[in-house]
Structure 1
Amino acid sequence: MFPTDWEWKGEHWHIARNLAKHHYAYLLQLPLVLHLPSLHTLVVHAGLLPSDPSRSANDANQPLVEASHSTTSPNYDASLARPSEELTLLLDVPQNTHPWNLMNMRSVYVSGKHQGEVTKSSKKGNPWSDVWKKEMKRMGAEHDDQENAGTEDQEDAEGDELEDQERRDAADADEEGDLQCSPVTVIYGHAAGRGLDIKPFSKGIDTGCVYGRQLSALVIGDISGLKGESVRVGDAQGVLVSVECGKGGT
């Protein structure tokens, strides 16, 4: 037995066939998401959602809405509460609890009969990073990062569905500044077709090395002597460093 979307004796079949048992056991022990509390950042292979799109943006069960309400408590301590607010996105957004989603998500349906479902397609639904950006803006959060610009036609097509959802939510909430909790950044890959996708609070760094393009790394910490695009991650400054790849990612 093997996954239905694998090709018999295809690339993934051969990788699994030749994988040693101890390597397989090691992979099973690895986390699907890394939490970096000091940077207020989550690292994931493909994507995450900031809320459950099948519910209203202001539903009391949405993790960030619940976290926002807790900030009004006289005993609220941001330094203690913020890490748990970040983790609740992993535990309380249903779509983020499924390993397949974390490893394959490129887009999400925000309306229609598939509302709330994620997809690995880049041509269906809306890029999850756009949904993430919209939710972070509800906290009044902005960064100085320069966003990558796609073609106008592509942006218009991808934005139509998200705009429909925004109009529905507008009756319940202002688009910016209505959440009092703090923003979270996501670093991810798995979207080589979009290339570098640097947005406020989401950093897509898959530049298609396996297709012979580039291998990119986001370096945070000691960046002295490094040359590359400056990228802010949480409260830290990072640098994007890229190198050319040969055929097949060599």
Structure 2
Amino acid sequence: MTVRNILDDGSPSASKDDGMAWAEVWDEYQKNNGNPAEDDTEKSETKMSTASTPDHQGIKSIVYGHDAGRGLKVRKYAYGLDSGCVYGKSLTALVLPGWEIYRMD
């Protein structure tokens, strides 16, 4: 099963054209369950190198790839690291436990 988005009724969709990106849904769900984000906006690429270790208080974060079409997506609880290296774009790495993100062009 391929899940790209979540529809308004909560069902999964393989299409990127309908509903909301599943990682965005996950991030919002975690924020609304007692873990408000310090910064509710998606982190920009310029802020990546200064990102601090998330305080998740038992809430799980997801690190995923295989979504080059959406590019690098760094949220409080979801980290989409596919920055299109296979297509000649950047290679991205998340280094734990410090939650530091590095990109190589």
Count of paired positions: 92
Q: Choose which of 79, 87, 94 in structure 2 pairs with 1:203.
A: 79
Counterpart of 2:5 in structure 1 is: 107
C-alpha contact (below 8 Å) 1:148/1:196 kept by paired residues: no
Q: Name the CA distance, whole Å, in 2 between partners of 1:108 and 1:139.
A: 18
What TM-score, normalized to structure 1?
A: 0.33
CA separation in 2, counterparts of 1:239 and 1:198? Answer: 11
Q: What is the CA-CA distance between 1:109 and the residue it aligns to?
A: 1.4
1:136 aligns with 2:30: yes
Q: Following the alignment from structure 2 to structure 1, what is the Cα–Cα distance between the partners of residues 94 and 38?
A: 17
> Which of 94, 101, 104 is the aligned partner of 1:240?
101
* TM-score where L is the length of structure 2: 0.72
Task: Give, in angstroms, the shift of residue 184 of structure 1.
Answer: 1.3
> Unaligned regions of 5+ residues in structure 1, if any?
1-99, 150-180, 222-236, 245-250
- Matched residue type, 1:117: P
For the 8 Å contact 2:31–2:37, the answer to whether it is kept is no
SS at match of 1:193: coil
On the 8 A contact 1:142/1:200 being kept in 2, the answer is no
User: Hey, what does 1:23 align to over in structure 2?
Assistant: none
What's the CA shift string for 1:60-94, capped at 9, x where partnerless? Answer: xxxxxxxxxxxxxxxxxxxxxxxxxxxxxxxxxxx
Kept in 1: contact 2:68–2:83 (CA 8 A): yes
Q: Give the CA RMSD over aligned residues.
A: 2.3
Tell me if structure 2 keeps the 8 A contact 1:217–1:241. yes
What is residue 17 of structure 2 aligned with on the other side? 123
Q: Distance in 2 between matches of 1:106 and 1:125?
A: 9
Amino acid corresponding to residue 107 of structure 1 in structure 2: N
Structure 2, unmatched stretches of 5+, are 45-56
Q: Residue 136 of structure 1: CA displacement?
A: 0.8
1:189 aligns with 2:83: no
Deviations along 1:172-196, whole A, 9 cap, x unmatched? xxxxxxxxx9421100012212211
| Preserved contact between residue 23 and residue 78 of structure 2 (Cα < 8 Å) | yes
1:147 maps to 42
Instruction: Give the structure with the larger strand fraction.
Output: 2
After superposition, the C-alpha distances for 1:87-122 in whole angstroms (9 at most, x for unaligned) are xxxxxxxxxxxxx3xxx32212123xxx51331x32
Q: Distance in 1 between matches of 2:38 and 2:32?
A: 17
Identity across matched positions, percent = 32
Structure having the higher Rg:
1
Counterpart secondary structure, 2:69: helix
Which consecutive aligned stretches of 4+ in structure 1 deviate over 6 angstroms post-superposition?
none
Larger fraction in helix: 1
Query: Secondary structure, in 3 states, of the residue corresponding to 1:133?
Result: helix
